[in-house]
C-alpha cells in the first residue's frame, strides 16, 4: 500500500503550461462533507496545486440509509413507496413514478387514463421544482444569491399545488400501485393554468438575471467540458448527457405512461456560449426543459379525462415470482428499478440504478486541471442529490 505522498509523487503533471520545471508540492484539501457547495454530505478529496485541481476524488456514503434492506423487509410492495420518496427528496414524485410503473408491470395492471395523465402532470411539476432547485443553487454556487430566492418562490407555487392535492409538500407517497392516493382538487385545472402562465414570465426573468449574465457566462462557459463520447462511456443521463449534445430522453426514446401522446421537444446543449458540453450547456438544458415541462403540463391538463383514480388499485398485491426492470426519466436522469418478486407479499429485492450516482462518477474526469472555483461550478452543473447517490 503506497502512501498518499508516494501517490502524488508518482502522478505525472499533465496540466498544459505548468510543466515539470514548475513542479511544486501539492496540497490535499477536503471539500465537505460540511461544505456549503457540495449539496449535501458529499466529501470531495481535492489534490490541488495552488488554485489548480490536480485530482478530485469523491467519497460517498454519508447518507446511506439501507434502501435495499428496507425494501426487502417491508410487509408489502406499497410500503416501499415512501422510501423511494426519500431517495431524491427534491424530486420525490419522479422517483415513486418509476417504482409504481415497475410494480404495475410486474402485476400486469392497466391503470386508467386519468391516473396516467395526473401522474404525468405531477411528474412534470416535480421536474420543474427540481430544476428550479438545481438552477437556484447553481446560481448560489457561482455567487449570485438572488436567483436562488426567485427560484424558491416559484417552487413554492408548485408545492402549494402538491399540498392541495395530497397534503404533503416534499415527500408525497402520492402515486400508489394501480392508482393515486387522492384525486386532484376541483379547481386544479384553473390553478395549473394560472401557474403555467405565470411561470413562462419568470423563466424570462431568470434568463435576464442569471443565464445571460456576462459574469455567469464567463464562469460557466468552456468550464468542465464533457464530450459526448465520455458522457456515454460513463453512463451519464439526464441533463448531463443532453448538455453534451446527445438527444436522449426516455420520455421520447422509451416512452412510458402517456408521454407518447404529448408533444414536446428534447433540448440539448449546442455550445452557444462556449464548447458543447460545458457547464453553461448543462445549465441551459435545465432551463429549456422547464419550458418544455410547462408545455407538457398544459397539454395534459387539457386532455385530462374524467374517472376514478383508485378503481384499478388491486385488493391484494402479490405478484407471481418473476423480475422486471423499468427505467423512467427523472429530472436528474435515468432511474432504473429492478424488482424481483418471489411470490410473497413483499419484494424479494428492489435494486435502484440512480442517475445521480452515475452522473457523479463523471466529476473527477472533468475536474482535473480546473480551478477550485470551477470544481464548484462543475459539481453544481452535474446536480446531484446525496439522498439518491447513497440511498
Partner 1 sequence: MKEFLIDILQNEILVYVLMAAVPLVWIIPFALFAVWWERKISAHMQDRLGPMRTGGWHGWAQTIADILKLIQKEDIIPAAADRKLFNLAPYVVFVGSFAAYAAIPFSAAYVGSEINIGLFYILAVSSFVVVGLLMAGWASNNKWSLFGAMRAAAQIVSYEIPVALSLLAVVMIVGTFDLQEINRAQSGYFWNWFVFQKFPLLFVAATIYFVASLAEVNRTPFDIPEAESELVAGYHTEYGGMKFALLFLAEYANMFAVSAIAATVFFGGWNSPFGDFMSGPVWGLFWFISKGMAFIFVHMWLRWTLPRLRVDQLMYVGWKVLIPFSFVIVLGVGFWVMLAR
Choose, by CB under 8 A, the member of 22, 27, 57, 321 that binds partner 1: 27
For residue 258, the minimal CB distance to partner 1 (Å) is 36
Stretch that binds partner 1, among 18-26, 59-67, 143-151, 255-263 (CB under 8 A): 143-151
- 6 is written with which cell numbers? 508516494
What residue spans of 167-278 are helical by DSSP H?
Answer: 188-206, 214-220, 228-234, 239-243, 250-253
- Residue 51 makes contact with partner 1 by CB under 8 A: yes
Stretch that binds partner 1, among 126-134, 146-154, 186-194, 339-347 (CB under 8 A): 146-154
Q: Collect all residues with Cβ–Cβ distance below 8 Å to 189 and sequence separation of at least 6.
A: 301, 304
Please confirm whether the linkage preceding 137 is cis (ω < 30° from 0): no
Check binding of 17 to partner 1 (CB under 8 A).
no
Q: Return the closest-CA partner of residue 238 out of 327, 150, 159, 324.
A: 327
CB of 43 to partner 1, least distance (A): 14
Spatial CA neighbour of 333 closest among 243, 200, 264, 227: 243
C-alpha grid cell for residue 87? 431517495
Q: Which is nearer to partner 1, 35 or 70 (CB)?
A: 35
Q: Does residue 37 belong to the site contacting partner 1 (CB under 8 A)?
A: yes
- Restricted to residues 365-384, the positions that interact with partner 1 (CB under 8 A) are 371-374, 376
Our CB check for partner 1 shows the closer of 131 and 219 to be 219
**In which order are the strands placed within the sheet that holds 43-49?**
27-31, 43-49, 52-59
Give least dist CB 50 to partner 1, A.
9
Q: Between 312 and 372, name the residue whose CB sits nearer to partner 1.
A: 372
Half-sphere exposure of 369 (CA within 13 A, CB side): 14
Binding of residue 215 to partner 1 (CB under 8 A): yes
User: Cell 428499478 identifies what position?
Assistant: 337
Instruction: Pick the stretch among 28-36, 85-93, 96-104, 309-317 that binds partner 1 (CB under 8 A).
Output: 28-36
The site map against partner 1 for 277-306 (x = CB under 8 A) is: ------------------------------
Q: Which of 49, 141, 288, 298 binds partner 1 (CB under 8 A)?
A: 141
Regarding 143 and contact with partner 1 (CB under 8 A), the answer is yes
How many angstroms separate the Cα of 194 from the Cα of each of 108, 304, 382? 37, 16, 31
| Binding flag, residue 142, partner 1 (CB under 8 A) | yes
Rounded to the nearest 10 degrees, what angle do helices 113-142 and 146-166 cross at?
160
At its nearest, how many Å lie between partner 1 and the CB of residue 62? 17
Q: In terms of CB distance, is 196 or 372 closer to partner 1?
A: 372
CB atoms within 10 A of CB 281: 30
Complete DSSP assignment for 223-242: SS---HHHHHHHT--THHHH
Determine, following the binding rule CB under 8 A, whether residue 211 of this chain makes contact with partner 1: no
Q: Determine, following the binding rule CB under 8 A, whether residue 15 of this chain makes contact with partner 1.
A: no
E strand spans, the chain: 27-31, 43-49, 52-59, 175-176, 179-180, 322-330, 333-341, 349-353
Using CB under 8 A as the criterion, which residues of the chain lie in contact with partner 1 when the complex forms?
A: 27, 29, 35-37, 51, 139-146, 149-150, 153, 209-210, 213, 215-216, 218-219, 371-374, 376
Amino acid at each position: 500500500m503506497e502512501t498518499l505522498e508516494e501517490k502524488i509523487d508518482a502522478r505525472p503533471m499533465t496540466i498544459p503550461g505548468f510543466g515539470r520545471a514548475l513542479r511544486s508540492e501539492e496540497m490535499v484539501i477536503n471539500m465537505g462533507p460540511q461544505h456549503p457547495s457540495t449539496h449535501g454530505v458529499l466529501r470531495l478529496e481535492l489534490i490541488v496545486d495552488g488554485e489548480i485541481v490536480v485530482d478530485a476524488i469523491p467519497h460517498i456514503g454519508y447518507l446511506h440509509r439501507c434502501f435495499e434492506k428496507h425494501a426487502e423487509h417491508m410487509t408489502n410492495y406499497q410500503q416501499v413507496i415512501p422510501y423511494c420518496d426519500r431517495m431524491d427528496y427534491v424530486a420525490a414524485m419522479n422517483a415513486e413514478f418509476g417504482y409504481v410503473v415497475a410494480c404495475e408491470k410486474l402485476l400486469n395492471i392497466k391503470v386508467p387514463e386519468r391516473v396516467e395523465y395526473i401522474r404525468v402532470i405531477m411528474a412534470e411539476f416535480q421536474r420543474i421544482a427540481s430544476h428550479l432547485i438545481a438552477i437556484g443553487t447553481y446560481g448560489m454556487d457561482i455567487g449570485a444569491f438572488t436567483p436562488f430566492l426567485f427560484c424558491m418562490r416559484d417552487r413554492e407555487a408548485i408545492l402549494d399545488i402538491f399540498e392541495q392535492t395530497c397534503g404533503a409538500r416534499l415527500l408525497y407517497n402520492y402515486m400508489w400501485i394501480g392508482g393515486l392516493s387522492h384525486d386532484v382538487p376541483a379547481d386544479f385545472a384553473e390553478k395549473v393554468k394560472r401557474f403555467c402562465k405565470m411561470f413562462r414570465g419568470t423563466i424570462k426573468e431568470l434568463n435576464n438575471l442569471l443565464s445571460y449574465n456576462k459574469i455567469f457566462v464567463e464562469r460557466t462557459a468552456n468550464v468542465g467540458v464533457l464530450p459526448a463520447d465520455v458522457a456515454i462511456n460513463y453512463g451519464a443521463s439526464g441533463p448531463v448527457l443532453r448538455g453534451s449534445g446527445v438527444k436522449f430522453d426516455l420520455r421520447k426514446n422509451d416512452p412510458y405512461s402517456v408521454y407518447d401522446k404529448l408533444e414536446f421537444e428534447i433540448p440539448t446543449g449546442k455550445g452557444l456560449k462556449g464548447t458543447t458540453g460545458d457547464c453553461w450547456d448543462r445549465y441551459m438544458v435545465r432551463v429549456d426543459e422547464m419550458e418544455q415541462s410547462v408545455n407538457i403540463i398544459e397539454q395534459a391538463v387539457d386532455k385530462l379525462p374524467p374517472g376514478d383514480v383508485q378503481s384499478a388499485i388491486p385488493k391484494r398485491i402479490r405478484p407471481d415470482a418473476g423480475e422486471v426492470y423499468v427505467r423512467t426519466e427523472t429530472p436528474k436522469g435515468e432511474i432504473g428499478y429492478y424488482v424481483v418478486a418471489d411470490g410473497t407479499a413483499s419484494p424479494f429485492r428492489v435494486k435502484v440504478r440512480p442517475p445521480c450516482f452515475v452522473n457523479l462518477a463523471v466529476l473527477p474526469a472533468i475536474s482535473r486541471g480546473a480551478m477550485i472555483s470551477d470544481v464548484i461550478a462543475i459539481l453544481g452543473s452535474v446536480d446531484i442529490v446525496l439522498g439518491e447517490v447513497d440511498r
